[in-house]
Amino acid sequence: MHHKQHPETNLVKALRRSQHDLSAFTPIYEAYVDRIYSYCLYRVNHVADAEDLTSQIFARAMVRCETFRGDSVGAWLFRIAYHMTIDHYRAKRTDTLSDEQLAILHDASQPSPLESVIRGEEVNRLHNLLKTLDEDKRNLLLLHITGDLTAREVGDIVGKSSGAVRVEIHRIIQHLKQQALLQS
Amino acid sequence: MSSPNEQTDQYLEAVLKRRSASVDIPQDEADVVHQLIETYPVVSLSSHKKRQILEKATMLSRKQKRPKRINWLGRVAILLIVAGLGALVSNLVQSDFAMLAPIDEADDIVLNEETPLFDAIPQTSDAFGFEYGAYTPIDDTIPYADDMRNAGMSWVGRYIVYDPSQPEQLVTVTEAINTAHENGFKIMVALQGNPNLYSDEYLDGYVAFAGEIGEAGADALEIWGEANINRSFSEELMQDSTAYATILRNTARVASATNPDMLIIAGGPAPTGAPDAFPRQVINDDVFLESMVDIVTMGRVDCIGMHYLEGILPPLATSGDTRDDYYTRYLPTMLQRYRQVIKADLPICITELGYLSAEGVDDMPVFFEWADDTSRDEQAQWTREALEWLSLQADVRLAMIWHIGIPTIEPGSDGFDLVHPISE
């Protein structure tokens, strides 16, 4: 994906260095903050809560960087994000993004005027579509898309096999297509 | 020129062409997936927002990393705090406690966060605006901030001995002030002087430094505490009954000018009754107060400092101390004596409040043996009860507990600590 600016191997090295030198964490933060924030935003549907959660997730990552054992920093970070957003979601459920929050969402990505029109419509449309998914399914899809994780990485986080994740995502997509047809 | 709808179709077509099937799902669903990827954007945060989130994450990570190792600045602060502790016993031992050995860098200091501060949350009264807090390590974070908040504390205390050869002191104090405010606390700076450095130039520097602390935003300033003993104040100056009062007046004037909202506190004297045993070296605290009270009441002082650290009985006791019934043994009698001396409407700030316990303290010095029968549980309970009682006294404005989380670096010093610091 185009937003992977740092080769993963370099980030793994940076993460290992950051166990002794927190300043080494900077490229990891830079590489993932947008995606972690986006994931949080779509999970909790609240801009300020998403910012707080993002801070908490990176704080947890800084404290626990010595627990990293895998080969994907992204998967490790999203595992933390997955659990922390679940905790947040249980404690403070919010269901919808307000118009104001959607506007922030549009502005934040700074698209061109044409893209802005298209995205404005599509984000609203897809936001409504995703609302038709239950919490687990939406989470699965967000990990896959916003987190840019493979089916195996998603499966590791949510405790399912990669095959089960593929099947689940297939069904989710089918469901979304049906809903899209119904709403068109 | 194409219509908006045509533009949209062209755009989506371009998107679909640009995006190949890069994910693990069948090609026939690619249109929806691609729509999701393209139109459910990864939000690009502004650099300002990224910095804000990172700063908060860093702050949170430091909190989560307790037990915390104290950096060298913290160690210097701790040395200074414990230096003040020596004043308490100076009427018993005049020199043994005076020189602090440098800390061995290999002795890492670890704070124990498990012990609760009190046996219960203090049920203090708001009727008279009473507030309380504690001396605790502060650098770029406050390791015990949560515990202190949970115990109803709204103040933190920072002790520092002015030294003109260390210009970084202002940076350190400013950092502590900022950290306190970022964590929602008010901060009292106890600005001590060094009698060994005394000169007119030093005094001018002390006054100026107090002004700089005011500019930095401190919420309260205690001016040169325990100036009634030669450990803290020039023995020569002590013979002039107006010397401290003059320093107090000048310092209060400058400090209040730089920060009119700062609470200016006359330094609490060392509780002592041993001038006969140590002539010229010690002045009784009530006599000392009398010598400065006129200047205090005419000047810009907001509060009279008081140090209560000698209790071995519950805070409401007024008799029964096995040592004697001298007024500094009991909180009510000491407070009453100060009221009698002050003879004014000025409130009293208990700038050092603590109970010493020998329980679990290795190598408790012999001059602290009076604390042998005070348990840690009693220490916590009495401190809480003292706060509750003080909150009901209309003329008590503030109480600062001595102390929370200050590691052991001198024998017996951790006997005052509410969280049992330990050394590895």
pLDDT in tens, A101-113: 555 554 444 444 5
The average pLDDT across B412-419 equals 85
Which of B16, B34, B45, B53 is the best substitution to test chain A (most A C-beta atoms within 10 A)? Answer: B53
Q: Is B32 on the interface with A (CB under 8 A)?
A: yes
Least confident of A106-110, B41-45, B177-181, B405-409: A106-110
Q: How far is CA B386 from CA B105, B204, B380, in A?
A: 37, 38, 10
**Amino acid identity, position A118:** I
B16 vs B114: CA distance, rounded Å = 58
Upper half-sphere CA count for residue B121 (Cβ side, 13 Å): 9
A85 vs A77: CA distance, rounded Å = 12
A1 vs B370: CA distance, rounded Å = 71
Least confident of A56-65, B253-262, B300-309, B386-395: A56-65
What per-residue confidence (pLDDT) applies to B119? 77
Q: Which pLDDT band holds residue B197 (cuts at 50, 70, 90)?
A: confident
Q: ipTM score of the complex?
A: 0.81
Render B357-408 in DSSP notation, one character per residue. --TT-TT--GGGGGGTT--HHHHHHHHHHHHHHHTT-TTEEEEEES-SS---
In this structure, how many other beta carbons lie within 10 angstroms of the beta carbon of residue B394? Answer: 10
A69 vs A50: CA distance, rounded Å = 27
Per-residue model confidence as pLDDT tens digits over B202-238: 999 999 999 999 999 999 999 999 888 888 888 888 8
Question: Distance of alpha carbon A3 from its chain centroid, rounded?
Answer: 13
Per-residue model confidence as pLDDT tens digits over B334-375: 999 999 888 777 899 999 999 999 988 877 888 888 999 999
Is residue B306's pLDDT more than 90? yes
Is residue B138's pLDDT more than 90? yes
Q: Which pLDDT band holds residue A90 (cuts at 50, 70, 90)?
A: low
The average pLDDT across B143-163 equals 93
What per-residue confidence (pLDDT) applies to B20? 32
Is residue B84's pLDDT more than 80? no
Give the range with max mean pLDDT: A171-180, B175-184, B401-410: B175-184
Q: Using a CB-CB distance cutoff of 8 angstroms, which residues of chain A are in contact with residue B23? A: 144-145
Q: Do A146 and B12 touch (CB under 8 A)?
A: no
For a pLDDT cut of 70, what percent of chain B falls above it? 73
Between B378 and A14, the more confident residue is B378
Within B162-208, strands assigned E span: 186-192
**Amino acid identity, position A176:** L
Which of B26, B29, B53 has its CB closest to that of A55?
B53
Least confident of A1-10, B54-63, B347-356: A1-10
User: A94-113 in b/e burial notation, b at 16+ Cβ within 10 A?
Assistant: eeebeeebbeebbebbebee
Q: Is B26 on the interface with A (CB under 8 A)?
A: yes
Q: What share of chain B is helix, strand, coil (3-state, %, to 5)?
A: 40, 10, 45
Smallest CA–CA separation between A21 and chain B, in Å? 13
B195 contact partners, CB below 8 Å, separation of at least 6: B230, B231, B232, B233, B234, B235, B237
A144 vs B22: CA distance, rounded Å = 12
Q: Is B420 left (phi over 0), alpha (psi -120 to 50) or beta?
A: left
A37 and A50 in contact (C-beta within 8 Å)?
A: yes
How is residue B231 written in tokens? 């450990």
For a pLDDT cut of 70, what percent of chain A falls above it? 72
How is residue B175 written in tokens? 């950092």
Q: Considering only the C-alpha atoms of chain A, give the largest distance between any 2 of them, rounded to a whole number of Å.
A: 55
Task: Report the SS3 class of residue B212.
Answer: helix
What per-residue confidence (pLDDT) applies to B180? 96
B41 vs B5: CA distance, rounded Å = 21
The average pLDDT across B113-136 equals 81
Between B303 and A119, the more confident residue is B303
Least confident of A5-19, A76-90, B31-45, B182-196: B31-45
What per-residue confidence (pLDDT) applies to B288? 86
Direct distance between the N- and C-terminal alpha carbons of chain A, in angstroms, rounded to an integer: 30
Q: Which pLDDT band holds residue B151 (cuts at 50, 70, 90)?
A: very high
B383 and B401 in contact (C-beta within 8 Å)?
A: yes
- Considering only residues 36 to 95 of chain B, which have any Cβ-Cβ distance to chain A shorter than 8 Å? 36-46, 49-50, 52-54, 56-61, 64-65
Which of B24, B26, B45 has its CB closest to that of A108?
B45
Upper half-sphere CA count for residue A170 (Cβ side, 13 Å): 11
The closest alpha carbon to B156, from B346, B415, B406, belongs to B406
Which of B8, B26, B61 has its CB closest to that of A59?
B61
Task: Report the SS3 class of residue B219.
Answer: coil
Q: Using a CB-CB distance cutoff of 8 angstroms, which residues of chain A are in contact with residue B9? A: none
B393 and B128 in contact (C-beta within 8 Å)?
A: yes
The dihedral through the CA atoms of B172, B178, B183, B184 has a sign that is: positive
A167 contact partners, CB below 8 Å, separation of at least 6: none
Q: By CA distance, what is B19's nearest residue in A?
A: A1
Q: Do B40 and A59 touch (CB under 8 A)?
A: no
What per-residue confidence (pLDDT) applies to B82? 40
Does the bond joining A83 to the residue before it have cis omega, within 30 degrees of 0? no
The average pLDDT across B10-21 equals 42
Q: Which pLDDT band holds residue B79 (cuts at 50, 70, 90)?
A: very low
Phi and psi angles of residue B303, each rounded to the nearest 5 degrees, phi first: -160, 145
For a pLDDT cut of 90, what percent of chain A falls above it? 6
Cross-strand bridge partners of residue B221: B189, B264
Which of B13, B18, B20, B40 is the best substitution to test chain A (most A C-beta atoms within 10 A)? Answer: B40
Cβ pairs A/B, distance under 8 A = 122
The average pLDDT across A118-147 equals 75
Q: Which pLDDT band holds residue B59 (cuts at 50, 70, 90)?
A: confident
**Amino acid identity, position B221:** L
Is residue A18's pLDDT more than 70? yes
Per-residue model confidence as pLDDT tens digits over B381-398: 999 999 999 998 889 999
B408 vs B363: CA distance, rounded Å = 11
Per-residue model confidence as pLDDT tens digits over B245-298: 889 989 999 999 999 999 999 999 988 876 666 777 788 888 888 877 776 666
The average pLDDT across B175-180 equals 95
Least confident of B77-86, B173-182, B333-342: B77-86
